[in-house]
């Protein structure tokens, strides 16, 4: 169950990060004005690490 949640979160964060970065490229600060992409990237990295740990178990 936990693995499914983390996997779904991974898809969502990856999609969000990709969309937001594309939006930032098209119009700078459109996302950064409200949400730090650095923070989102850290969350994504933590999520990826958890996913890798769970996959190896």
Partner 1 sequence: MLSSFIFLAVCFFLYHAVAVFGVASYSVHPCSQSFFIQKLTPKDRTTGKCQNIIIGDPVYFNLNTQRTFNSATMEITYKNSGFNKIMEVGILADARKNYRLQPLDNIILDNLDWSMIEANGVYLLQREKKYEEVAAFLNDATKNDSSMNKQEVLTYFYDLPAMEILPATMSSSVKNKKEIQTIENNLRGSYQFYTYTDNGTFAFHFSFHDLNINKDPDDVVITVYNAKGEVINRQESKDQIGREESRKIIEINDLSIEEQNLNNGFYKIEVAANDDIVTTRISFDKEIVSFINRLWLSSDDQNTSTTLFTDADEMTFSTINPQALQKIKINGDDFDLNQTYRQFFALADKKINKIELTKNDVIISGQGLFSFNQKNLYNLNYHKLSSHTNLDGINYIITTYKPAHLGEWRTKTLTFNLKDAFRYNNNYGFIISIPGLISDDDINDNIEIGDISVKLNGRSLWEKLTAS
Residues 6+ apart with CB under 8 A from 16: 40
Q: Which residue intervals of 1-57 are DSSP H helices?
A: 2-26, 37-56
Integer Cα distance of 42 and 36 in angstroms: 10
Interface ranges with partner 1 (CB under 8 A): 8-9, 11-12, 15-16, 19-20, 23, 27-35
To partner 1, the closest distance from the beta carbon of 12 in angstroms equals 4
For partner 1, the closer CB: 5 or 42:
5
For partner 1, the closer CB: 25 or 56:
25
For partner 1, the closer CB: 27 or 57:
27
């Amino acid at each position: 169950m936990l693995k499914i949640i983390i996997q779904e979160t991974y898809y969502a964060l990856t999609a969000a990060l990709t969309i937001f970065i594309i939006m930032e490229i098209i119009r700078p600060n459109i996302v950064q004005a409200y949400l730090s992409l650095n923070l989102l990237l850290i969350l994504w990295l933590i999520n990826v690490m958890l996913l890798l740990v769970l996959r190896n178990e």
